[in-house]
Structure 1
């Protein structure tokens, strides 16, 4: 059978429609010429016109709206990767991100962080809550396990914790970078309500944050740079940081801080070992 290439959207819709069991959705089986749901049944589940859905499968009627694609994705019980593929076929772009609140990570992702010692590494959400970290991060950045969950937030710590502020070699530059990165990160993740709440809180409690937020600076959230920290036990240390997206988890990002010099790595390891013995 030849592979259809001219109407990839229609081919994908038809394939997913034919995989569904009519009885699972309360439709009578009766006499059906093909397996799966009928077009009008998909249209019914998606709450769209049967004619419009038929045209989409046939490659007629122009590009669908994002709302229609979301309805079809729901009607066809598409997974999140399938929904993204549907949008790429129908509109040439991924769908807007549906922000999901997260307070932990999978054991597999935690093992990735643990394997990075002595490089500090954390996992943050779109609102910059830290939800996972390794021993090096606890030793060099903040021991998040000793903080209430609501305080495990990079912005709250940067603008409200004197110890974190003092640890920055150039707090003003770091703070400006953090706010600009946060602005880009939050918009990408679609966390409008959560971001608004956090921004209003920080604007009330920190005039410095309020001023930086009003500047409207935007910094690429996924990038790299150098961070200089003053550590109470080993003094000034230089770390190269890289920010990574977590594949399949648009609401999460990973930051890894690599020691610039081998001697710095050894100093971090000594702090980790000393704390492990306590």
Structure 2
């Protein structure tokens, strides 16, 4: 379920289907109805400056090492954004056969203390596969209390699709959920041999029709910053801005910090949320770290 050689072809087909001749300045053929959605293979090949046979072999997974020049040409034709360009490059890398899993992730104690001190802002740290590695009290009150879940369930994507409360919390749940799938797709391209990601994707594909449809769409999303609208059952609606900060020393750990516009009703509601009993209570054991890797074990399968 994670990235494989066929994913390069699937991604190219998805990109090709998302464009029209008019978009790229080609004649649409007049009243003759096109037999395929989007661009034809020969049109992509023409625009990219490669032979039709070469491009066809790329889509069919029969060419393993396209050059950087070819990848750049395809990214230009498909008008890919930076995250999608990086994903294309990841998918085109030679397949590596590696059985060892990456080392367990661990949040540094100083970082745990830092997010715990952010009593006015929800903050959490996501790791590989969107595993929830740490979350402060306001974040647990805003989203869910991951400390009360079995280790294998402490995963943001899993919560997003399998907990009905997530769909009720986010006003724009389809958009937010689709972005989570795009994040997993981006990760899958970088780590095609992650067995636990394969297991997570397999579980979500079986249990969520929405996840399955978005996963097969091959869209990617990079977490940087943005806005999320929520309807919190205890304090009401809030428009939350968030910023993401990759943590030095582990590129797969990302800190999320949520805030609101001063003077807004969302600001007032967030202040109320931080005063709720759950937002001022330390998790069991008095720690914000959720990943038990501190005990030299990988978190349970997400």
Settle same-fold status: TM greater than 0.5. Answer: yes
Following the alignment from structure 2 to structure 1, what is the Cα–Cα distance between the partners of residues 271 and 131?
26
Would you say how many aligned residue pairs link Structure 1 and Structure 2?
A: 181
Which has more radius of gyration? 1
Following the alignment from structure 1 to structure 2, what is the Cα–Cα distance between the partners of residues 267 and 107?
30
Q: Does 1:253 align with 2:254?
A: yes
Shift of 1:161: 0.3
Correspondence for 1:220: 222
2:119·2:274 contact (CA, 8 Å) conserved in 1? no
Correspondence for 2:169: 167
1:126·1:189 contact (CA, 8 Å) conserved in 2? no
Correspondence for 1:244: 245
Q: What secondary structure, in the 3-state scheme, does the structure 2 residue paired with 1:254 have?
A: strand
CA RMSD of aligned residues (A): 2.4
Unpaired runs of 5+ in structure 2?
Answer: 1-97, 282-302
CA change 1:202–1:181 in 2 (3 A) is same
1:180·1:216 contact (CA, 8 Å) conserved in 2? yes
Shift of 1:173: 1.0
Matches within 5 A, 1:254-269: 254-263=255-264, 264-269=266-271
Unpaired runs of 5+ in structure 1?
Answer: 1-95
Following the alignment from structure 1 to structure 2, what is the Cα–Cα distance between the partners of residues 242 and 109?
16
Q: What secondary structure, in the 3-state scheme, does the structure 1 residue paired with 2:242 have?
A: strand
2:242·2:258 contact (CA, 8 Å) conserved in 1? yes
Of structures 1 and 2, the one scoring higher in RCO (CA 8 A, sep 6+) is 2
Following the alignment from structure 2 to structure 1, what is the Cα–Cα distance between the partners of residues 154 and 238?
23
Following the alignment from structure 1 to structure 2, what is the Cα–Cα distance between the partners of residues 190 and 241?
28
Q: What secondary structure, in the 3-state scheme, does the structure 2 residue paired with 1:198 have?
A: helix
Shift of 1:204: 1.0
**TM-score, normalization: structure 1?**
0.59
